[in-house]
Chain A
Amino acid sequence: QKEVEQDPGPLSVPEGAIVSLNCTYSNSAFQYFMWYRQYSRKGPELLMYTYSSGNKEDGRFTAQVDKSSKYISLFIRDSQPSDSATYLCAFYFLSGGYNKLIFGAGTRLAVHP
């Protein structure tokens, strides 16, 4: 079983739709939960991070973590064509002095006008 599972998509939605992106994970040691956004032919950029179960909101974006189910989500409200990108979930943990950041494979999102 992979440590992180993320549906690669592609996900195609109309402008204004609510988008839900999800990742599941298996490692209980994961401490920080992050979402990166990657535009085509660019490097990833951090969008949101959290370290506790619950919701964290930033503008049109909401990150949700459910540690008991080992499930994280990113919701995008009022989606815009500029949101078209690949979204990668990422998990950080410290284990025996070795610092590790693990990424999901990414979900490709297309928002069409």
Chain B
Amino acid sequence: NAGVTQTPKFQVLKTGQSMTLQCAQDMNHEYMSWYRQDPGMGLRLIHYSVGAGITDQGEVPNGYNVSRSTTEDFPLRLLSAAPSQTSVYFCASSYRVGDTQYFGPGTRLTVL
């Protein structure tokens, strides 16, 4: 049981490049979410999903896209990276909304 896994661990992008951050869980959780963590700002919700095929926006969704084609995977796409997207990104999952969330190890992204 690997829990929540994220790849890559580190990434450096140039402004305007696109990329996908991967997130997978093997706990059969319905609820998955993406957060970004910035110094002094805490964790802020980007997008979330309550099940396969269902996604919705969180607090800071601009510049990010998500999809949920399977229960296990919830990738986060940056369409055109900007320096303001430099952050640490965490994926989390829980059995259902409101249950204990399990976080992945994070992806450290730098946009130059």
Instruction: Please list the residues of chain A having a beta carbon within 8 angstroms of any beta carbon in chain B.
Output: 4, 6, 8, 32, 41-46, 49, 88, 92, 94, 99-101, 103-106
Chain A neighbourhood of B45, CB < 8 A: 100-101
Chain B neighbourhood of A44, CB < 8 A: 43, 90, 103
Chain B neighbourhood of A45, CB < 8 A: 102-103
Contact count A vs B, C-beta below 8 Å: 40
Closest-CB distance, B18 to chain A (whole angstroms): 25
Within the complex, which residue of B4, B44, B100 is in contact with A46, where a contact is CB–CB below 8 Å?
B100
Chain A neighbourhood of B104, CB < 8 A: 43
Q: Mark B85-107, 1 if CB is under 8 A from A, else 0.
A: 00000101000011011111110
Within the complex, which residue of A41, A49, A88, A100 is in contact with B43, where a contact is CB–CB below 8 Å?
A88
Chain A neighbourhood of B101, CB < 8 A: 46, 101
Say what secondary structure dominates the interface of chain A.
Answer: strand
Instruction: In the A-B complex, list the 10 residue pairs whose CB atoms are closest, starting with the nearest.
Output: A43-B103, A103-B42, A103-B43, A105-B42, A99-B97, A46-B100, A44-B103, A43-B105, A43-B90, A105-B40
In the complex, whether B41 has a CB less than 8 A from a CB of chain A is yes
What's the Cα separation between A84 and B43 when bound, in Å?
19
Instruction: Please list the residues of chain B having a beta carbon within 8 angstroms of any beta carbon in chain A.
Output: 4, 40-45, 90, 92, 97-98, 100-106
What's the Cα separation between A8 and B41 when bound, in Å?
10
Known: A42-B106, A43-B4, A43-B90. A49 touches B100 (CB 8 A): yes
Closest-CB distance, B111 to chain A (whole angstroms): 19
What's the Cα separation between A44 and B101 when bound, in Å?
9
Chain B neighbourhood of A101, CB < 8 A: 45, 101
A105 touches B41 (CB 8 A): yes
Closest-CB distance, A79 to chain B (whole angstroms): 23
What's the Cα separation between A88 and B103 when bound, in Å?
13
What's the Cα separation between A44 and B40 when bound, in Å?
15
Closest-CB distance, A92 to chain B (whole angstroms): 6
Inter-chain pairs besides A32-B98, A43-B103, 13 sampled, C-beta below 8 Å: A6-B42, A42-B106, A43-B90, A43-B105, A45-B102, A46-B101, A49-B100, A88-B42, A94-B98, A101-B101, A103-B43, A105-B41, A106-B42
